[in-house]
Structure 1
Amino acid sequence: MTKTHEGYFFEDYRVGQVVRHAVPRTVGAGERALYHALYPARHALYSSDSFAQACGLSAAPLDDLIAFHTVFGKTVPDISLNARANLGYAEGRWLAPVWPGDTLTASSEVIGLKQNSNAQTGVVWVRTTGRNQRDEAVLSYVRWVMVRKRNPEAAAPEPVVPELSDAVDPRDLVVPAGLDFGSYDFDLAGEPHRLGDYAVGETIDHVDGVTVEEAEHMMATRLWQNTAKVHFDATQREDGRRLIYGGHVISMARALSFNGLANAQMIVGLNGGAHASPCFAGDTIRAWSEVLDRAETGAPGVGAIRLRLVATKERGGGLRGADGKYLPHVLLDLDYWALMPI
């Protein structure tokens, strides 16, 4: 009997199935240091204990996307090891800060299945929850993945396509206990712009760019214990190129967005997202943001800003062509909520 795991294929999933993912991961200050080395991340709340304490927290939590990547990485062997593509995200909420020393685990429930017309692949929808060592939920999100079939002749399941919200209601966003921007230090944060300084419809060019290197993206993907074959094994693609993990693009774009959005401190909601085009080593990632909405929260001095973050692999505006499809230079289209001082 074989002792190796080839991953799940489309016909292995059932709606309602719950998968507990291996392996628990204790995260610490090392993850923060390496994350900030891999990406130009500079948001003050995640960089400085004293800044975080002045905002009512006990210390600086780990970056929101460290939590996302760690939880996501747990799911890969069971959900996307045999994936053709990670298609999208919805209904994501950060439910509690992750602190150095926390141990994260993850589980996923299959909430939808639909075989594609080619009978070679199908789409799997899962709702993933990350928990800490106290069994407290720290993160929840839905994603859908195109997964290969082991046997194209296998019977197709009855299609179940979940109904998902277009956006997380700002009333459902979770503000960390104690967070207070009433005495927020804009000088130390790096920019003077408050929530009221941003207008719905405004776009911000984040100016800078970073060229992706093979070594860095593979190091990042290993850091998150993401085992997807296409990120490491060049023989998995006909063009012989390793595909950059989409989360690497998300973190790079988020870090680049500091220039113009330095006070969008904490990501607390993920409304939707699409990896529009593949990214490869040698591509230069640039980013721009569009302000979609603003909202109040119940925390002192804390507002929420809804942003569309777009990553591209060359200069130039535009998102979609006349046919409604993403333009070839667009890598990422991400819709999220962040907390910002009022």
Structure 2
Amino acid sequence: MTKTNTGNFFEDFKIGQVLVHATPRTLTEGDKALYQALFGSRFSLQSSDEVARAAGYKQSPIDDLLSFHVVFGKTVPDISLNAVANLGYADCRFHKPVFPGDTLSTISKVIGLKENSDGATGVVYVRSTGRNQRDEIVLDYVRWVMVRKRDKGSPAPVADVPALPAAVDANSLFAPANTHFKTFDVAASGSAHLWDDYAPGEKIDHVDGVTIEEAEHMMATRLYQNTAKVHFNQFTEGQGRFGRRLIYGGHVISLARALSFNGLANAQLVAGINGGRHVAPCFAGDTVFAWSEILGKMPLEGRADLGALRIRTIATKNLPCAEFPSALEKGYADGVILDLDYWVLMPRR
């Protein structure tokens, strides 16, 4: 008998199955600094203890997306070790801030299954919940992933695709307790533009581009303990459809978020992800650009200091965004790699 983990294949998943993922992860100041070094995010709340304390935090929190990637990374050995591709996200909410010293763990539940027409793969839908050492929910989300079958001839399960909300209800977003942003330091943030200054339909070209280096991607994905073969194993991926390793989709999300600082510098907190799609693969050597559209804005009940902005960020590879390349009603322009619909919290006047 083997003692090694070969990962679950599509046939191994059952509706209602609960997966308790291994290796709780304690986040440290070192993780925070490494994440900063890898993506260059400049949002002041996550960069400065002094800015954070002035807003009521005990110290600067961990970047929301670092928390997301760590929670996600726990799920990979059980859900997507044999994945072809991660396909999308929905119904994600960030419940509580994470600080250095907090330990994150993850549990997932299978909520949907559908075999693909090729008979060689299927799509697995899971809801994953990340908790801290006090068993408090930090974040939860749904994702769906295309997973290889062990045996193409094995019988297909009855298709069961979950109904997912088109967007997270803004009234269900969690504003951080015991914080106050009414006198938020806009000199420190680098922008005077607050929630009041943005309007639905507004488009923002984030201008800058970042070229993905293989070493940075490998280091970032290891930081999250994401062990998916498609990101690490050139021996196997060299024989696959692309002939090379894929960049983890979350790497592109973090790059797009970091790029969005130029134009959205006061979008201090990611509060929810309504939906996300990895439109096309991305590889080392590609240069990522991003632009955003404001889809909506909502005040937060009981919080005169914070408002919610619903943002759609499109990331491209090797294609500057001045032309806003995205035939959104008729598919996607060549070069579009990410379409992310999410909520941020931003200080108000």
Q: 1:251 is matched with which residue? A: 254
Q: 1:174 is matched with which residue? A: 174
1:133, 1:219 → 2: CA distance? 26
1:70, 1:8 → 2: CA distance? 20
* Consecutive unaligned residues in structure 1, runs of 5 or more: none
SS of the aligned residue for 1:145 comes to strand
1:52 counterpart = 2:20: no
Q: 1:157 is matched with which residue? A: 157
Aligned match for 1:293, one of 282, 296, 302: 296
Q: 2:282 is matched with which residue? A: 279
Deviation, structure 1 residue 181: 1.0
Q: 1:311 is matched with which residue? A: 315
Whether the 8 Å contact between 2:89 and 2:275 is mirrored in structure 1 is yes
Whether the 8 Å contact between 1:179 and 1:299 is mirrored in structure 2 is no
Q: 2:97 is matched with which residue? A: 97
* CA displacement, residues 31-81 of structure 1 (integer Å, 9 cap, x when unaligned): 110011001201011111110111121211100011000000000111111
Deviation, structure 1 residue 178: 1.3
1:330 counterpart = 2:330: no
* CA displacement, residues 176-207 of structure 1 (integer Å, 9 cap, x when unaligned): 11121111111111100011111101000001
2:241, 2:256 → 1: CA distance? 28
Deviation, structure 1 residue 311: 0.7
Superposition map of 1:1-342 within 5 A: 1-234=1-234, 235-236=236-237, 237-297=240-300, 298-313=302-317, 314-316=319-321, 317-320=324-327, 324-342=330-348
Kindly provide the amino acid, as one letter, of the partner of residue 301 in structure 1: D
* CA displacement, residues 259-305 of structure 1 (integer Å, 9 cap, x when unaligned): 00000000010000000010101100011000001011122411111
Query: How many residues were matched structurally?
Result: 341
SS of the aligned residue for 1:208 comes to coil
Whether the 8 Å contact between 1:170 and 1:295 is mirrored in structure 2 is yes
Kindly provide the amino acid, as one letter, of the partner of residue 246 in structure 1: G
In structure 2, the CA distance between the partners of 1:139 and 1:161, relative to structure 1 (3 Å rule), is same
* Consecutive unaligned residues in structure 2, runs of 5 or more: none
Kindly provide the amino acid, as one letter, of the partner of residue 311 in structure 1: A
* CA displacement, residues 147-182 of structure 1 (integer Å, 9 cap, x when unaligned): 111011111111111000000001000011112111
2:310, 2:170 → 1: CA distance? 9
Deviation, structure 1 residue 238: 4.0
Deviation, structure 1 residue 315: 1.8
Kindly provide the amino acid, as one letter, of the partner of residue 23 in structure 2: V
Aligned-pair identity in percent equals 61
**After the TM superposition, which parts of structure 1 deviate over 4 Å for at least 4 consecutive aligned residues?**
none
Deviation, structure 1 residue 240: 2.8
RMSD: 1.1
* CA displacement, residues 6-34 of structure 1 (integer Å, 9 cap, x when unaligned): 10001100000000001110001111100
Deviation, structure 1 residue 321: 7.1
2:292, 2:224 → 1: CA distance? 26
Whether the 8 Å contact between 1:180 and 1:300 is mirrored in structure 2 is no
Give me the TM-score of the superposition, normalised by structure 2: 0.96
